[in-house]
Amino acid sequence: MNTQLQHDLLPTATHDELARQNFVHTLKVHLATKVSPGNKTIYEHRAAPRFAREHQRPPQDRHEVRSVMQDEPYYQMWSTLLRTSQEMMWDSVNVSVERQLPQLRERAATNGKTLGSLTLNPDLAIPAYHTAVDIHCQPGGYHTELGQDDVAAGATYDRAVYIYAMSRLGSLNDEMGQSVVLHLKEQHADFRPARILDMGCTVGHSTLPYVDAYPEAEVFAVDVGAPVLRYAHARAEALGKRVHFSQQNAERTNFEAGSFDLIVSHILLHETSSQAIRNIMKECHRLLRPGGMMLHQEVPQYEGMPPYEAFILDWDTYNNNEPFWGTVHSMDLQKLAEESGFAARGVIQTMIPSALERAQARTEKFQGGDFGGGGAWFVFGATK
């Protein structure tokens, strides 16, 4: 496993904690590169012919693929191993964070708050799409508070997402933000945003690339979870980056209308809901000045994918506590943008290359349990 940058806030690991995390990393690489591809072989040799025998036609969508694959022992074994690896990942980090929680709280509290700011709102209602199930099986989700000034969810996320992506998000987990920045620099070289908002920022790992890319800009970031925001603020300060974090729901913020040039999000949309995504798009439209741009980075949409490819990417919807994953990835985003006030011609739907030229164990595939393996991302956005 490549080394994650040990900034002041990142939890440390003992010899055995690190060994456990290393095991999960290697297990995940093995599943993604050696076991998961076999599902396609099983599908082509066994499951698809079985479906064709029963229905006199091939499976037409991911649901029909799933209906035959879920009876295949190979798929069942891969699924149970993948689910188990996810649980082992959180557990391997949880134990480590819990051991050093008082020190982490202290470091987050005493870290010099001279650059950016942190504004929390204890009265903010945590949306049902975060409380119904714990997203991607992180026990307690982004929002659960374990006492005063808690940072546990943030510390856990910062370390776990590095393992989850098998270190392919880079030493600062910033590859998603870097990739959107690279797209902006290459495709919109003259665009100079003065005010930037990152929605659903979690620990600010995707936010910081915008601080470096646009040093003159004021960068703001919102999330609903207080523990991740406290951590994000302290992390940004430790890394010397000026960001103004606030605890707000992206569906409706307290920023003034027309006050942003650029609004971004990174893997936020799939963790919302059908109603929330509509609210978020309308809020983006309200917040952008004329000529401003929104860019939401995600995994690719299912449209145009062969049924098997959509099925294998859809695994998380049913098995990794990502209930909105399948719905959002099959939504009509053009229509969504237009209904939110954006002009049809201003809508952006494109694949962008990863800013990390080389990453360990990249599979060039979009499949469940292989986050960041594709070496590219989908971006949905619009100019106002």
Partner 1 sequence: MPRKAKGKRPTFFNDPQIDTVMGIVMALAGEVSVLRERLDSVERLAAAKGLFTQHDIEAYRPDDAVMAERERWRAEYLERVLRVVHQELEETDKGETTESYQAAVRAVSS
Element containing residue 349 per DSSP (H, E): strand 347-353
Of 57-65, 72-80, 329-337, 367-375, the segment contacting partner 1 by CB under 8 A is: 72-80
d(CA 354, CA 356): 5
Of 1 and 217, nearer to partner 1 (C-beta) is 1
**Contact range with partner 1 by CB under 8 A, out of 34-42, 107-115, 168-176, 376-384:** 34-42
Q: How far apart are CA 129 and CA 137, in angstroms?
A: 13
**HSE-up of 144 (CA within 13 Å, CB side)?**
15
Nearest distance from C-beta of residue 321 to partner 1, angstroms: 5
Tell me the closest approach of the beta carbon of residue 108 to partner 1, in angstroms.
16
**Nearest distance, CB of residue 13 and partner 1, angstroms:** 10
76 binds partner 1 (CB under 8 A): yes
Task: Work out whether strand 260-266 and strand 195-199 pair parallel, antiparallel, or are unpaired.
Answer: parallel
Among 53, 54, 56, 73, binds partner 1 (CB under 8 A): 73
CB 185 within 8 A of CB 209: no
Piece of the chain touching partner 1 by CB under 8 A; list 39-47, 107-115, 208-216, 363-371: 39-47
- Cβ closer to partner 1: 83 or 278? 83
Closest separation in Å from C-beta 68 to partner 1? 14
Q: Which stretch binds partner 1 (CB under 8 A): 53-61, 92-100, 193-201, 290-298?
A: 92-100
Comparing C-alpha atoms, which of 368, 253, 358, 378 is closest to residue 315? Answer: 368
Q: 137-161 b/e with 16+ CB inside 10 Å = b? A: bbebbbbbbeeeebbbbbbbbbbbb
Task: Report residue 378 as tokens.
Answer: 């989908």
Least distance (Å) from partner 1 to the CB of residue 26?
4
Q: Does 188 help bind partner 1 (rule: CB under 8 A)?
A: no
Given 133, 194, 257, 343, the residue binding partner 1 (CB under 8 A): 133
Cβ–Cβ < 8 Å for 136, 90: no
Q: Which is it for strands 117-119 and 376-383: parallel, antiparallel or unpaired?
A: unpaired
Place of tokens 């917040």: 287
Binding mask 103-132 for partner 1 (x = CB under 8 A): ----------------------------xx
Q: Are the beta carbons of 136 and 143 closer than 8 angstroms?
A: no
221, with CB counted inside 10 A (0-12, 13-18, 19+), is buried
- Nearest approach, Cβ of 242 to partner 1 (angstroms)? 31
Considering only residues 41 through 60, tell me which ones interact with partner 1, judged by CB under 8 A. 41-42, 45-46
Query: Nearer to partner 1 by C-beta: 140 or 300?
Result: 140
Residues in 287-326 at the binding interface with partner 1, rule: CB under 8 A: 318-319, 321
Tokens of 357: 């030229």
Indicate whether 145 belongs to the interface with partner 1 (CB under 8 A): no
CA dist 288 and 337 (Å) reads 13
Stretch that binds partner 1, among 84-92, 114-122, 293-301, 346-354 (CB under 8 A): 84-92
* Binder of partner 1 out of 50, 64, 88, 98 (CB under 8 A): 98
For partner 1, the closer of residues 27 and 347 by Cβ is 27
Residue pair 277/327 in contact by the 8 Å Cβ criterion = no
- In the list 8, 49, 52, 87, the residue contacting partner 1 (rule: CB under 8 A) is 87
Q: Does 15 bind partner 1 (CB under 8 A)?
A: yes
Q: Which long-range contacts (CB under 8 A, 24 or more apart) does 78-81 make?
A: 78/31, 78/35, 78/36, 78/38, 78/39, 79/315, 79/319, 81/27, 81/31, 81/35
Q: Is position 65 an interface residue for partner 1 (rule: CB under 8 A)? A: no
Going from the C-alpha of 290 to that of each of 196, 282, 285, the distances in angstroms are 14, 14, 9
Q: Contact region for partner 1 (CB under 8 A) — 38-46, 169-177, 186-194, 281-289?
A: 38-46
- Site residues for partner 1 per CB under 8 A: 1, 14-15, 22-23, 26-27, 29-30, 34-35, 38, 41-42, 45-46, 70, 73-81, 83, 87, 90-91, 94, 97-98, 131-134, 137-141, 144, 146, 152, 156, 318-319, 321
